[in-house]
A and B are shown apart, each in its own frame.
Chain A
Amino acid sequence: MAGLDPLKIGNKLKRQQQHQKTKKAKESTKRDERFKRRRHEDKNPELREARLAKNVPATIESKRTWDDANADDAAEGRLGLSVDVLHAKRRKVEDEEKQVPEEINPEDHVGDVEDDEEPAAVGGLEPGVNGDEDEQDELDSMLGSDDSDDEAEANAKLDPPDRDASEAPSAATSAATATTDLNHTPDALIARFPSLFNLDPDISPKVLVTTALNSTLHWEAQLLTSLFPGSAYVRRTAHFRSYKYSVREICSYAANQAYTHVVILNEDRKKPKGLDIVHLPNGPMFHFSISNWVEGSRLPGHGNPTNHYPELILNGFRTPLGLLAAHLFKSLFPPRPEIQGRQVVTLHNQRDYIFFRRHRYVFRDKRGTEKSIQGTDGKLMKGVEEIRAGLQELGPRFTLKLRRVDKGIQHMSGQEWKWEAGAEKIRL
């Protein structure tokens, strides 16, 4: 029989059977408990909310350690620091808040409420008002400044203990994938890269796409031209003995021809390996590595892109370096999207991997079998419970990883930031 210790049964067949029995019994008790809890919580939803609030699963994003921003001046200038920009802003505001309560009491609440609402930009309360502002400058359709019920979250470790006073919810997971609010760039960063950050909303970007020398990725480069509106692909010198134009020469030529960016596609054994983006005229050069390049025709259920200007979604760019990259991507696309095209380009940064996707979307009614859309805090979005967005993927999808930022063009001009393999090891 089962005996004392089920693991000590000598007969393998019997041991296996016993194991199956105990496993089944355990799982069934768990299941019963789960269903009991669900029934109980269906009657009292507050219990479920309390339980979920208590049992927040630990994710890699929540365990992220941030560097200390010692002096704000030193911190904001450099790119290497892992500093949550929004968190820094939030702390400043909170420090201001803390100063107010020292004065007369009735003014406390007024001051707190105002300060809380400013950085959090709780657009959910009054969408109408903000919507009017957005109508006026459609540029902001790409900026999630008004859309953020998920904004201004901070890492729980660095937060001061009196957290509950603030209005905005602090869930680190939502911060990781929150839509980047490009308005929150630190001023020092803007000062260092003025051409990248102070974009004229009337200038449409003009992109020159090319490849590395002796490359065979002409089709992929053509795809890139379909991706960036206002772009052209020029082949590199083909003949063995002819003059090979260097990247610097190409950039100077492009700058003279009023191009805004040069995009170079690197190759490894007939596959795209990297993407180098130069911000003209002599701006910073960004080196990305590409992995998992999948062409549109290989995606199941894909669509064919049109040449409407796409909308842009930038998620998860939080540090100064991230904001720099986000602004670069923003500058690559025309500032005013043609929303009747219903195309959206997404660059989603998750754990330093930037996932590039391109979709055609449609707002449709929710089917009976579907769930409603949840916000980043896990709660349903009000007002749009019956709406879902259908997505059809178009065009190439790939993953980028930023490896190097050069101050000028090419390596010789000096590096702003460099990726180091050793830094990815987590040693505690």
Chain B
Amino acid sequence: MASDEIVWQVINQQFCSFKLKTTKNQNFCRNEHNVTGLCNRQSCPLANSRYATIRADPVTQRLYLYIKTVERAHMPNKWFEKIRLSPNYTKALEQIDDRLIYWPKFLIHKCKQRLTRLTQVRVRMQRLQKEEERLGERMVSKMAPKIRRREAAREMKAQAAAKIERAIERELVERLRSGAYGDRPLNVDENVWKKVMRGLERSREGVLDEDLDEGIEEENEYEMEHERENEAEYVSDVEGESDDETQDVEDWFDSGSEEGSEDEDDNEESESGSESDESGKDDTEELKQTLSKLKRKRPSAPPPKSRKKSSKGPKREIEYEREYVREPLVRQVVA
């Protein structure tokens, strides 16, 4: 006990490594066993051979009562004995009362105060932790600058390689061409849509024309029939066909059965052709009328096949038979 005085004088007047001086002339004690946290004669754990504190275990957050007694004053590493307190606050208070009975009131009071404060802290921490878990938000650290810069550079290069607008244009035109927008698309201007349709037919006919060329060179009957069906049935065959018809008929009367099959085929076709000729003629007249009203240009170049065919007769306008059910161009123009 006498040594306490000496210790205090040294600590207070000369040097204490735990002392922390602040403005406003307040001294704090950084010693971990200090009950109050202030540097006082009564609060100093070094200058009191009988001392008690409450401390929390850092891992489990349990509260322990640390008691320092005179009997162990000569064994500094065994100064404090650690007593676990009940998690129940009132029971813990009773435990303190029980353990620190007959001790100076200051220490008992300060220990109880510290107990109160530490339980409050514990409760608050638990509440925060639950809130964090409920929110489920995690701390995401910022990306390392090296990686951030690398990604930015790569993004620029990827954008350059992507050519996004070209890809978009290509995809949209592909959809238009493939007919994904339907028969009369709402997102296209009529002229443009007509162009597309014409372009498609031209490309399709281009494919067929190749076959037809081969057919004519080989002079295959089947190919000739094919070409007549697919093409300018109404108009371009009129004169040529009538001539052929009469010629063929005469031949048929004159000669034998070899040409009979050909003639029959021609006759059948000429009949269908003549019927469609009339409808074709009507259509062309209608078309001419509407066109004169609207003053629009006709499609520029008819395919080369038909030119060859109508080289004999006067120039005719050509109508194409559609492969699938569709309103003819005429009506679209009017609408």
Contact = CB atoms under 8 A, between A and B. Distances in A.
Contacts of A38: none
Contacts of B203: 382-383
Given A128-B179, A384-B196, A359 B151 contact: no
A247 B180 CA distance: 40
B162 A355 contact: yes
B180 A140 contact: yes
Interface size band for A: 35 or more
Nearest to A386: B195
A410 interface: yes
B294 interface: no
Nearest to A246: B135
Interface string A356-372: 01010111110000000
Nearest to B201: A383
Nearest to B136: A410
Nearest to A135: B182
A367 to B, nearest CB: 13
Interface string A339-375: 1111010101011110101010111110000000111
Contacts of A385: 199
Interface in A126-152: 127-128, 130-132, 134-135, 138, 140-141, 144, 146-147
B144 interface: yes
Given A135-B179, A135-B183, A363-B173, A344 B324 contact: no
Interface stretch (A75-83, A90-98, A160-168, A387-395): A387-395
B75 interface: no
B155 A134 contact: no
A412 interface: yes
A193 to B, nearest CB: 22
A131 B184 CA distance: 12
A226 interface: no
Given A351-B154, A383-B200, A383-B203, A373 B136 contact: no
Nearest to B185: A339
B171 interface: yes
A331 interface: no
A365 B195 contact: yes
A210 interface: no
A215 interface: no
Contacts of B101: none
A127 B200 contact: yes
A364 B170 contact: no
A344 B170 CA distance: 13
B192 interface: yes
Contact of A315 (B144, B154, B171): B171
A59 B168 CA distance: 21
A51 to B, nearest CB: 22
Interface string A417-428: 000010010000
Interface in A299-355: 313, 315-316, 339-342, 344, 346, 348, 350-353, 355
A373 B192 contact: no
A216 interface: no
B180 A381 contact: no
A352 B170 CA distance: 21
A301 B1 CA distance: 89
Interface of B: 131, 134-138, 143-144, 147, 150-152, 154-155, 157-159, 161-165, 167-183, 185-189, 191-193, 195-196, 199-200, 202-203, 323-324
21 contacts: A132-B179, A134-B182, A135-B179, A146-B178, A248-B136, A291-B152, A291-B155, A315-B171, A344-B168, A344-B172, A348-B164, A351-B154, A353-B154, A355-B159, A364-B189, A373-B170, A381-B174, A384-B177, A384-B199, A388-B169, A424-B150
Interface of A: 59-61, 123, 127-128, 130-132, 134-135, 138, 140-141, 144, 146-147, 177, 179, 212-213, 244, 246-248, 291-292, 313, 315-316, 339-342, 344, 346, 348, 350-353, 355, 357, 359, 361-365, 373-376, 381-389, 391, 399, 401, 409-412, 421, 424
Given A128-B323, A391-B169, A401-B151, 5 more contacts: A127-B177, A128-B200, A355-B164, A361-B169, A383-B200
